[in-house]
Amino acid sequence: MRILFLCFIVMPIIEMVVLIEVGSVIGVFNTILLVLLTAVIGATLLRQQGLKTLLQANQKMREGQMPVSEMGEGLMLAVAGALLLTPGFVTDTIGFLLLTPGIRQLMLKSVTDRLVKGVGSQSSSFQYHYSEVHRRDRDAGSETIEGDFIDGDYQEVPKGDDVKGGSKHSDK
């Protein structure tokens, strides 16, 4: 919840303050040109790195491996692209940081470590639950249910007939 508040309320205010300050120092026109320049440079870098990540993912899939890290990098590149296309210097800075392969891989490792840690605790509770159910079933012993199987078309048996012992029909 705090991240959404930060993204939609605080970040635009910070961006406006920075844009106003930069505009007062270098002028409005130069500020607009600088914002456009960072967007063009960011889009170019994003295209190159996105293509590289896509090729790596395709290579892993051809080898029969799941491209997990490439999927994570692709997601981070998408976030970087959104930040770079958003007007402002703070979002551009964060976007360029995400375009830096070393920083992106550190962030990806941090996120995956948190996810694995969370999934691991849930997995162990699942394994405990499964082993308890399996143990109870084993201790209770198995029950065999006797029955007959008839292969073929289903036909309703007339009332009064004994299905188990066969039909009581006679040729009278």
Sorting pLDDT into bands at 50, 70 and 90, what band is 111? confident
pLDDT in tens, 53-107: 999 999 999 999 998 888 989 999 999 999 998 889 999 999 999 999 889 889 8
Radius of gyration of the chain (CA): 32
The predicted pLDDT at position 164 comes to: 55
Number of neighbouring beta carbons within 10 Å of residue 11: 17
Cβ(57)–Cβ(71) below 8 Å: yes
Q: Return the amino acid letter for 172.
A: K
Res 48 pLDDT > 80: yes
86 backbone dihedrals φ, ψ, rounded to 5°: -80, 125
- 101-110: Cβ within 8 A, 24+ apart: 101/49, 104/73, 104/76, 104/77, 104/80, 105/73, 107/76, 108/69, 108/72, 108/73, 108/76
pLDDT tens per residue across span 128-162: 445 555 555 555 555 666 766 666 665 665 565 55
pLDDT at 172: 45
Which residue type, as a one-letter code, is found at position 83?
Answer: L
